[in-house]
Amino acid sequence: MGFVVLLGIQQAQAFDREDLKRLKETNKCVNCDLSRTQFIGANLEGANLRGANLVGAIIQKANLRGANLENANLQGANLYGTNLRGANLENANLQQANIDRTSLEDANLKDANLKGASLSKADLTNAYLNGANLKGTVLYFSDLQGADLQGANLRVAKIHQTNLKWAKLDPEDIIFARKKERGAVNIPDPVVVVKKTPQVTPKQTKIYSAASGTGFAITKTGYVITNNHVIDGCSRVRIHDKGKSVIATIVSKDSMNDLALLKGDFKPRKVFRLSQQSPSLLQDVFVAGYPFGKSISSSVKVTKGIVSSLTGIGNNFSNIQIDAALQPGNSGGPIVDDKGNVIGVAVAKLDLKKVVKKWGVVPENTNFGIKTSVVRNLLQGNNVSVSSPNSRKISKSELGKIISDGTYYLSCWMTMAQIEKMRTKKVIFRDISAD
């Protein structure tokens, strides 16, 4: 297979050349598909690759100092000898990646998945690894001096001759590291902290149905897509379907792109298929959801419109603009084409007060959705497979059946303390009911 060469970067021709072109011209490629790309010796200092798909990429001896790789999928990537000093890898998937001899000094690896990755002789001085998953990670001869490992899963990691001087570790990890067969060096002493257990009253723990949103099924095994802001701050999320409800497990969250992947113990009657084509200007779309919760009625509502722009606010290329009506409660609902394929996820409308204050007019028909390509990156990072998209137009009655049986009302349950905390961040019901 031939290769396209840009900036010392190579990529198989089967993938999107436009993503590489954008990266070359702007040093930015948010949510791009760059899987299997070769970055050998490339200079991408300060590049913005947030949410990029870099599965299986070869990034040997490249310069990514200060780059933004938040939420990027680097599963199985080869980062041997790469400079990632000060890079942002928060929530990145680095499972089974080769990071040997890599410089990660001062890098942010908060909540990153490093399960099974190889970090032999890597420099992690002062790196922030709070909450990172290091289960089974190979750290032979690595320098973790001053690194923050609190909340990281260091157990079962291979840490022979790893330098842990001044590192911040949980007590369990310190005990693990002190075992002779582990062979770590400069292990810090545990800090003993006596915590007082606060008195909790039943009223403080009681949860209430405080907010709502929309979700839609993508597999027959109960995987559901919605917005991150729909489930943010919730003690419990329920998926409601035809009078029944199940508690949802939050599988994965992408706060930057405002997406969440849920799993419910139920079998959807219908599932949505994800489009593999980019949205087109003036394309007809249908938006399904539960605007205003169930205050108007409990049935799903559908609005129709067109794709009015291929970018979102501030030239956000991961979003589209639509003129189909969106209201509070629509968030997380599917935006579908005339084939029944999802081309986006309903996410937001312009803030009325801010627009009136800035421009002196009431905004009309200006709403936004997250492109399906971003959804696919989230699913790929969590090993969730979906059915191929429909290739033909379907009837309105068939489309209505899919929407009716595959779109769900989601309820967010919170304690009173959580409700007060989230009032400025999400739409809270005026009439709150207890569980």
Quick: pLDDT tens for 47-105: 888 778 887 788 877 888 777 787 787 877 888 778 787 777 877 877 778 887 887 77
* Average pLDDT of every residue of the chain: 83
What pLDDT is recorded for position 137?
Answer: 77
At 4, the pLDDT band (50, 70, 90 cuts) reads: very low
What pLDDT is recorded for position 143?
Answer: 75
User: Which runs of consecutive H residues, i.e. helices, occur in 179-316?
Assistant: 202-205, 228-231
The yes or no reply on domain 1-195 and CATH 3.90.1150.10 is no
CATH number of 201-435: 2.40.10.120
- The two three-digit tokens of residue 413, written as one number: 């349950």
Could you give the residue range(s) of every CATH 2.40.10.120 domain in the chain?
Answer: 201-435
Amino acid found at 406: G
What pLDDT is recorded for position 6?
Answer: 40
What pLDDT is recorded for position 1?
Answer: 34
Distance, CA of 283 to CA of 131 (rounded, Å): 43
Give me the mean pLDDT over the 374-402 stretch. 96
Q: Any idea which of 257-261, 339-343, 377-381, 428-432 has the lowest mean pLDDT?
A: 428-432
Say how many residues make up the chain. Answer: 435
What pLDDT is recorded for position 182?
Answer: 65
Q: Any idea which of 53-62, 247-256, 258-267, 353-362 has the lowest mean pLDDT?
A: 353-362
343 has pLDDT over 70: yes
Sign of the CA dihedral with 375 first, then 377, 382, and 387 last: positive
Please report, rounded to a whole number, the percentage of residues in the chain having pLDDT higher than 90: 41
403 has pLDDT over 70: yes
165 has pLDDT over 50: yes
- If you write DSSP's letter for every residue of 113-154 in order, what string do you get? B-TT-B-TT-B-TT-B-TT-B-TT-B-TT-B-TT-B-TT-B-
360 has pLDDT over 90: no
Greater confidence (59 vs 127) lies with: 59
Distance, CA of 153 to CA of 177 (rounded, Å): 12
Distance, CA of 33 to CA of 311 (rounded, Å): 17
Distance, CA of 423 to CA of 232 (rounded, Å): 12
113 has pLDDT over 50: yes
At 369, the pLDDT band (50, 70, 90 cuts) reads: very high
Amino acid found at 34: L
Please report, rounded to a whole number, the percentage of residues in the chain having pLDDT higher than 70: 84
Give me the mean pLDDT over the 313-317 stretch. 90
Could you give the residue range(s) of every CATH 2.160.20.80 domain in the chain?
Answer: 1-195
Q: Any idea which of 95-109, 121-135, 326-340, 416-430 has the lowest mean pLDDT?
A: 121-135
What pLDDT is recorded for position 16?
Answer: 52
What pLDDT is recorded for position 265?
Answer: 95
User: Which runs of consecutive H residues, i.e. helices, occur in 187-311?
Assistant: 202-205, 228-231
Q: Which residue has the tokens 């802001």?
A: 229
At 21, the pLDDT band (50, 70, 90 cuts) reads: confident
Cα separations (Å) of 186 from 104, 183, 233?
20, 10, 39
Is the model's pTM score more than 0.75? no
276 has pLDDT over 90: yes
What pLDDT is recorded for position 411?
Answer: 95
Give me the mean pLDDT over the 181-189 stretch. 75
What pLDDT is recorded for position 356?
Answer: 63
140 has pLDDT over 80: no
Distance linking the first and last C-alpha atoms of the chain: 59
Sign of the CA dihedral with 66 first, then 71, 72, and 76 last: positive
What pLDDT is recorded for position 344?
Answer: 98
What pLDDT is recorded for position 15?
Answer: 43
Distance, CA of 59 to CA of 49 (rounded, Å): 13
Amino acid found at 82: T
